[in-house]
Every structure is written in C-alpha cells, then in structure tokens.
Amino acid sequence: MLALYSNPKWLSVVRGTVERLTETLGFPIAQCRSITRAVDEALTNIVRHSYGNRLDQPIAMYFRRAQRRHDGQVQQGLEILLCDRGPAIDPCKLQGRPLDEIRPGGLGLHFIRQAVDTVEFTRKGPTNRLRLVKYLAQGSSVL
C-alpha cells in the first residue's frame, strides 16, 4: 500500500514506483511505460476532478498480484487500486473526449483504457475506487 496526498509533487514518486514494480514483475518496457502513464493519468484525474486541485487530500494505492484463466491457461498480472474520498462520480460520465476532436486535454481515459486490460470504477461508502488490472503475455509470470 502507498498512501499519499493529492499534491502533484508526489506524482513523480508514484511514476518511479510503478515503473520499477512493473519492470520487476516482468512486463515488457513498453507496457511498463504505458501502465505508468495510465496510473499517472488516473491520479491526475483524482487530483483535478475529485479533489478540485486541493493539495492535502488522501489517496491510497494498493498493489497486488492478479490471476485469470485465459485460453485454458492461467495468466498472471498486476492489480492497482486507487482510492480517494472525493464526491461520488457517475461512472457513466467517465468518458474521454472524442479522439477526432483536436484540442488539448481529455485523453487520459483513452490512455488508461489502452494500457490496461480491466478498468473498473466503484464507490464503496465514502470512497471512490478505481481498479486497474494488466495481465502479462501467456507464458510470463509475476515474481
């Protein structure tokens, strides 16, 4: 578990942590970078949208191994759970802007969905929970 505040200065620490973790677990370098970018985008969205850029709000991150059966084989992976205590969000409104619309911003959700295999948003009590899961290619294993 990693506990931090919604201050953007902590994002570089999280990026370094996620990149090293994914490398250690055996993800290819390109996937390490895309998973790291997805987590960075998710945290940036929490800071901006859930906490309105306040710098002192709690964010908890949990990391654990994930496993699924795929094509008759067990596939190993990484689950990342991001938790914040911002206002409830309607999951139906979690849509990125259209890709053909040329303007800055609004692509974070696209990056997140491209980088990971599972994106689930839930609310449990006062807590928003974003669950991201990425599986390794067949034949790879998580340490």
Predicted confidence at residue 68, as pLDDT, reads 94
The average pLDDT across 79-98 equals: 80
Q: Give 50's DSSP letter.
A: I
pTM of the model: 0.88
pLDDT of 101 reads 61
Where is average pLDDT lowest: 20-24, 75-79, 103-107?
103-107
Q: Mark out the alpha helices in 25-71 (DSSP H runs).
A: 29-45
More confident residue, 38 or 106: 38
49 neighbors 28 (Cβ within 8 angstroms): no
- Single out the residue of 61, 63, 53 nearest to residue 22, CA to CA: 63
Residue 7: CA atoms inside 13 Å, Cβ hemisphere, count? Answer: 8
**For the ranges 33-47, 95-109, 110-124, 129-143, which has the lowest average pLDDT?**
95-109
CATH architecture designation of domain 2-135: 2-Layer Sandwich (3.30)
pLDDT digits over 35-62, tens only?
A: 999 999 999 999 999 999 999 999 999 9
pLDDT at 70: 82
The domain spans of the chain are: 2-135
Helix ranges restricted to H, 11-123? 11-24, 29-45, 108-115
